[in-house]
Amino acid sequence: MIRHTGVAVAALAAAAVHPAFRYERPVQLSAATAPETCVVLPLDLLPHAAPMLQDLRVQAGDREIAYQLRISSDAVEHVGRPQQILNLGQRNGVISFDVEMTEPRYSRVLLKMARSHFSVLVHVTGIDHPGEAGVAFPEIAYSSDTPEDEPQLKLILLPESNFRYLHFEIQTLALDPVTPRDIAGVDVLTETTEAPRYLQAAVAAAPQQKPHQTIYEFSVPANVPLDQLSFMSDDPNAVFSRTADLERYKSSASDTATKAMPTQTQGVTLARSPKAERGPNTIDLGLGAASYPSVLRLTMQNGDDAPVALHVVTLQMRERRLCFLPKPDTPYTLRYGDPSLGPPQYDLTPIEAAGANASVSTLGPERALTPEIAEARPFTERHPVMLWVALILVVGTLGVVALRSARTSS
């Protein structure tokens, strides 16, 4: 009877999760070979997805694939640089080799294996000349039981070092012994800082001039965060400073939110200094995404000064990238548009380890999915509460039977 109850619970769990995606896009994988690939999420995808993009799912057929969503920033990133392996060999079952380090200073090293299903102990020693004793770092246990076609990567953290060589000794602890051909390479991870990447979210309509004010309005799609305001002056030598009010309104089909109350307000300052370089001026906003289409109104206070002539006034959002570990000869699809889905929970360790080297793939055109007719779905999926009721009755009946059996036997 316990087995039947377990089956009922499993059936209930299966019925409770039935994603109803409304859109999908094929992932067009890059021809470049890399453990990881990333796709830039286009602006027109966001209004069709759930808030915070929590309903994004990468599918390989019917199988869900783990992914990581990354927002472009000016934070430090790590780039993998392959190093040359020397003196690779095996003695008494221990694999040993030297790695010639090309970077003057380093603290993060990526060991790459060509197979899975192993358990080893890794000893790393920093040396300046092959054959010397050097400085031994703490040993590292490394095991992998992931599929063979997934990247086998181990991030090794060291004190900041400048040794000319790293000497590796790898000893098998369990499973099949590792061999020299199982060593796929070693990368040193170097820090790089690049300017954040932005996508244009909205462009201001023609300005409205009022006494002492200049007003710019933007139509903003739903679920689009607003990270930056960008503008240019008609006069490249202009010097000014203007306070402005930035107000968000719910979009209306009848007018441009002239009768509504703002749902969000903040103050900004539009300024251009004498030493400003040519090109757009930017202001960080940090406005979160609204779950509805909105109108953003920028009201620049001119006071008694002449209006400042601006052009190319835009709102921008930081680029969002979706990254995952692709397998060869496997088609992938990105599905979204089910606001009932919560954020996925994945083990991101393999993706984070592979993040130093990534190819850039693209998304194909969006395709609307036909909503499933409720009557066509199984009764258990249309009425999951009935399963709970049935399960409670089954458990209650089992309890009564067990109680009666106990009394009879006593």
Domain stop point among 163, 192, 221 = 192
Residue 376: inside a domain = no
Which residue in 246, 245, 236, 248 sits closest to 310, CA to CA? 236
Question: Which range has the worst mean pLDDT, 48-62, 228-242, 323-337?
Answer: 228-242
Bridge-partner residues for 233, per DSSP?
A: 310
Query: Cα–Cα distance between 61 and 388 in angstroms, integer?
Result: 30
Looking at residue 78, its pLDDT comes to 66
Q: Provide mean pLDDT across the span 147-168.
A: 84
What are 201's two structure tokens?
A: 């979210």
Residue 374: inside a domain = no
Residue 375: inside a domain = no
- Is the pLDDT reported for residue 8 higher than 60? no
Residue 377: inside a domain = no
Q: Is 61 left (phi over 0), alpha (psi -120 to 50) or beta?
A: left
Domain stop point among 192, 226, 249 = 192
Residue 151: inside a domain = yes
Asked if 306 and 206 sit in the same domain, the reply is yes
Looking at residue 178, its pLDDT comes to 92
Looking at residue 35, its pLDDT comes to 83
The count of residues in the chain is: 410
Asked if 364 and 339 sit in the same domain, the reply is yes
Asked if 250 and 307 sit in the same domain, the reply is yes
Q: What is the CATH number of the domain that holds 90?
A: 2.60.120.260
Rounded to two decimals, the pTM is 0.64
353 compared with 171, residue with greater pLDDT: 171
Asked if 90 and 116 sit in the same domain, the reply is yes
Query: If residue 11 lies in a helix (H) or strand (E), which one and from where to where?
Result: helix 2-16
Q: Give percent of the chain above pLDDT 70.
A: 82
Asked if 351 and 390 sit in the same domain, the reply is no
Asked if 40 and 91 sit in the same domain, the reply is no
- Cβ pair 260, 249 in contact under 8 A: yes
Asked if 49 and 84 sit in the same domain, the reply is no
The count of domains in the chain is 4
Residue 73: inside a domain = no
Looking at residue 145, its pLDDT comes to 80
- Is the pLDDT reported for residue 379 higher than 80? no
Q: What confidence tier does 17 reach under pLDDT thresholds 50, 70, 90? A: very low
Residue 373: inside a domain = no
Residue 42 backbone phi and psi in degrees, to 5 = -70, 155
Asked if 225 and 311 sit in the same domain, the reply is yes
Question: Which range has the worst mean pLDDT, 48-62, 90-104, 135-149, 153-167?
Answer: 135-149
Asked if 334 and 306 sit in the same domain, the reply is no
- Is the pLDDT reported for residue 76 higher than 70? no
Q: What is the mean pLDDT of the chain?
A: 83
Q: Provide mean pLDDT across the span 129-141.
A: 87
Looking at residue 332, its pLDDT comes to 96
- Is the pLDDT reported for residue 15 higher than 80? no
Asked if 125 and 43 sit in the same domain, the reply is no
Domain stop point among 281, 297, 318 = 318
Looking at residue 16, its pLDDT comes to 41
- Is the pLDDT reported for residue 60 higher than 70? yes
Residue located via tokens 């094929």: 26
- Is the pLDDT reported for residue 373 higher than 60? no
- Residue-wise pLDDT for 252-301, tens only, equals 754 544 557 888 888 899 888 877 677 788 998 878 888 899 999 999 99
Looking at residue 129, its pLDDT comes to 84
- Is the pLDDT reported for residue 203 higher than 90? yes
388 compared with 367, residue with greater pLDDT: 367
- Residue-wise pLDDT for 330-359, tens only, equals 999 999 999 888 899 988 777 776 666 688
Give the three-class secondary structure for 399: helix
Looking at residue 403, its pLDDT comes to 73
Asked if 227 and 278 sit in the same domain, the reply is yes
DSSP 106-131: EEEEEEEES--SEEEEEEEEEESSTT
Burial 224-233 (b: 16+ CB within 10 A, else e): bbbbbbbbbb
Query: If residue 97 lies in a helix (H) or strand (E), which one and from where to where?
Result: strand 94-100
Query: What is the extent of the structural domain holding 245?
Result: 198-318
Asked if 226 and 277 sit in the same domain, the reply is yes
Which residue in 378, 294, 244, 362 sits closest to 47, CA to CA? 294
Q: What is the dihedral of CA 297, 303, 304, 308, to 10 degrees?
A: -40
Residue 9: inside a domain = yes
